[in-house]
Amino acid sequence: MKMILRGAKVGVIVGIIVSIINSYIFAEGVYYPMSPYSTSGAYFYAHVSETTTFIIALIVWALIGIVSIFAGQIFLKEDWSIFKMTATHFITMFIFFLPLSILGGWYPLKLGAILSFIIIFTIIYIIIWTTLLTINILRIKKINNELNHS
């Protein structure tokens, strides 16, 4: 339960920050938790209140955070290779993140937007994965140095 709450909290915080930045850049001072030009955003803004749209966005952001926390558990499998962990994590994140990002109004349900999502998702994934791998390699080197000097 703790992991679910932590994931939801992180997802909501990140979602709010991203939506504020996007609103500031693209909405000329109007706050939109979802892009009104996305498939989901256009639907929600036309059919439900702004408050309900915001609640839906909060739920989507929380789900993204929860999925991220649970998918991170894949990297704790000590009997898996780094490739197997990374491939499984990437596929898991992609499978959940694509529909959630469309539902959350980040991307419209159009082929060009989905291709854009795939490219952006892959680039961000590679950057994050490489950064975390580098940090862990440095930690291991530090631990090994401390063990060698004791």
How is residue 77 written in tokens?
A: 């499998």
Q: What is the 3-state secondary structure (H, E, C) of 4-26?
A: HHHHHHHHHHHHHHHHHHHHHHH
In this prediction, residue 116 carries a pLDDT of 94
Residues 6+ apart with CB under 8 A from 98: 114, 117, 121
**pLDDT of the chain along its 150 residues, tens only?**
899 999 999 999 999 999 999 898 888 889 999 988 899 999 999 999 999 999 999 999 999 999 999 999 999 999 999 899 999 999 999 999 999 999 998 889 999 999 999 999 999 999 999 998 999 899 999 999 988 887
Residue 48 CA, distance from chain mean position: 25
pLDDT score for 118: 96
Helix (H) / strand (E) element for 107: namely none
What is the pTM for the complete model shown? 0.84
Query: What is the structure's pLDDT at 106?
Result: 87
pLDDT value at position 4? Answer: 95
Structure tokens at 43: 């639907």
